[in-house]
Structure 1
Amino acid sequence: MMTPYDAPDWAGMSQRDRDLGLNNAAAVADSADIVAGWERRSAGMRAQHSAHLDLSYGPRPRNRIDFLKAREQAPTLLFIHGGYWQLRAKETFTLFATGPLAHGINVALIGYTLAPEATLDQIVGEIHAGIDYLAGQLPDLGGDAGGLVVSGWSAGGHLTAMALPHPQVKAGIGISGIYDLEPIRHSYLNVKLGLDGSMSRRNSPLMQEGGAMKPLTLVAGQAELPMLRRQTADFAGHRVRYGLPVSYEEIPGANHFTIMNEMASPEGRITTMIRQLFERVA
């Protein structure tokens, strides 16, 4: 549980270097093409699993959940999309249900209101409301009503950590997540987020005393931006210090976008981690 050797201290960086240190699109030259590919493949997945799309859990347009069913009474993984809380949508990420579905795990994908239309406090609240709704609907959807495992990528990794205390959540897996919002607050990303010090602190899992005594798997790519690798390593260390169950792994050669190949594939490393979490909390 060590901070990556090449990870800088964000507080000592210039504004320009801090912004670049958080800019995944700039760091991965073909990221736009990668995401376009996700969108194409996800459209096909949605067509194949159209029975339970856009289930409404709240009053706002993005308060919607897609439920992809693997089999009757299967356990359910809830996936939270990324985009620095201000970009993207659940529809782009449907293809990442492929890996878990192949192992008999239902997958639900949750949407949420993006900044600046919602504050981070409100976004976290929406995720909790969505979990309330989905947990209540699982019997009618044909899923196991015994609780959820939550996962998420990038900003979704942060929201996974914030969802872990929910009583209907049994475990979580954060993929390339953000767990300390202070670097975000002091970067270009805060123009839309509008974080102040207090909002940053209460929504930073790394700044909380303790945490949920539930299994949490944390994973990042070895080829990710060092600032983001540090986020995952530091949060893993935080949980170790408080005696909370955690595992930490870096995927060799994976960047912030290609790491998701490990969930799209039934044989992918992240798919395996998800299976192991379900086995652990069964």
Structure 2
Amino acid sequence: MATIFGETDWRSMSQEQRDLGLNNSAAVAGSAEMVNGWEQRSAAVRERHSAQLNLRYGPRDRNRFDFLKAADGGPTLVLIHGGYWQMRSKETLTWFAEGPMAHGINVALIGYTLAPEATMDEIVAEIHRGLDTLVEQLPALGGDPDRIIVTGWSAGGHLTAMALSHPKVKAGLAISGIFDLEPIRHSYLNVKLKLDEAMSRRNSPLLQSAGPAAPLALVVGGAELPQLRQQTADMAAFRASNGLPVSYEEIPGADHFSIMLELGSPTGRITTLIRQLFENV
């Protein structure tokens, strides 16, 4: 019998089916052109907010973050880029800061070392180190270190869930995230990630005994690949079953790329959810 999201049992799939079931770029026609457009718009935003870019938090080249100030002393949204932990950069997503910034929310974009130069353990540790440095520097940058929420798209959704345990993170919003790395480990993506079972499991929020108590909002597109929709729904069910605060929402008609328009717009659904999280933490 088919599941509500279509075929999502990766264990019963052939290698080709498993790979295609995770390949968002192949699934969305024109996705490369969309991302190129993001990068062009992001470059323009960076020119307008150039005062606090590429602030260092660690020794590696991508151990940097950008801070875009919307309101002195205001809350800060940390935005983590996607790309299956092996491509893209913080610069890809800069323009999506415009949605939250229109409401006086500062935005910090944290970069991280990509696989295969970094393992998943190291990537997760870098995000936590980036948060540590951001918290230390926020008073001088013009933000409130006691009002931080993390969001991320795709692989950044996974890293959002992993960052939820940071003591200064009040809540998270994961967009189209991966929460069980085992399908990733058995796909083409593992050529660069080089996950073994132990590393996969300790970095899979869905495979932990419980999870951080900070609220987590989960959002996925209604037109996304079945495995991603299933992972998001499973993560919501997992947190609910453990008595942890969680919300789940599908954006009707949104694919893995168009869903981000709901963050870039001041009136977008994801921007609204972020505002609500800040109001309640």
TM-score range, shorter chain: over 0.9
Tell me the CA shift for residue 144 of structure 1.
1.0
Using the alignment, how far apart are the partners of 1:34 and 1:216 within structure 2? 28
1:55 aligns with 2:71: no
Using the alignment, how far apart are the partners of 1:46 and 1:195 within structure 2? 34
Alignment-derived partner of residue 71 in structure 1: 71
Structure 2: gaps of 5 or more residues: none
* Letter in structure 1 aligned against 2:107: V
Matches within 5 A, 1:26-175: 26-175=26-175
**RMSD, aligned α-carbons:** 0.8
Q: Is the partner of 1:109 in helix, strand or coil?
A: strand
Alignment-derived partner of residue 260 in structure 1: 260
* Letter in structure 1 aligned against 2:54: D
* Letter in structure 1 aligned against 2:33: D
Using the alignment, how far apart are the partners of 2:248 and 2:148 within structure 1? 21
Tell me the CA shift for residue 29 of structure 1.
1.2
Structure 1: gaps of 5 or more residues: none
Using the alignment, how far apart are the partners of 2:83 and 2:273 within structure 1? 23
* Letter in structure 1 aligned against 2:123: I
Using the alignment, how far apart are the partners of 2:185 and 2:17 within structure 1? 14
Using the alignment, how far apart are the partners of 1:145 and 1:37 within structure 2? 32
Using the alignment, how far apart are the partners of 2:205 and 2:7 within structure 1? 19
Using the alignment, how far apart are the partners of 2:74 and 2:256 within structure 1? 30
Using the alignment, how far apart are the partners of 1:101 and 1:8 within structure 2? 37
CA contact (8 A) 1:7 1:229 kept: no
1:18 aligns with 2:18: yes
Using the alignment, how far apart are the partners of 1:59 and 1:212 within structure 2? 28
Tell me the CA shift for residue 82 of structure 1.
0.2
Q: In 2 relative to 1, CA 225–5 (structure 1 residues): closer, same or farther, beyond 3 Å?
A: closer
Q: How does the TM-score come out when normalised to structure 2?
A: 0.98
Using the alignment, how far apart are the partners of 1:137 and 1:113 within structure 2? 21
1:205 aligns with 2:181: no
Q: Is the partner of 1:22 in helix, strand or coil?
A: coil
Using the alignment, how far apart are the partners of 2:235 and 2:95 within structure 1? 28
Alignment-derived partner of residue 240 in structure 1: 240
Using the alignment, how far apart are the partners of 1:175 and 1:5 within structure 2? 17
CA contact (8 A) 2:100 2:271 kept: yes
Alignment-derived partner of residue 227 in structure 1: 227
CA contact (8 A) 1:135 1:147 kept: no
* Letter in structure 1 aligned against 2:242: Y
CA contact (8 A) 1:160 1:173 kept: yes
Of residues 143-152 and 79-88 in structure 1, the stretch that sits farther from structure 2 once superposed is: 143-152
Tell me the CA shift for residue 8 of structure 1.
1.9
* Letter in structure 1 aligned against 2:221: G
CA contact (8 A) 2:147 2:278 kept: no
* Letter in structure 2 aligned against 1:230: Q
Tell me the CA shift for residue 64 of structure 1.
0.5
CA contact (8 A) 2:5 2:229 kept: no
Aligned length, in residue pairs: 279
Tell me the CA shift for residue 7 of structure 1.
4.2
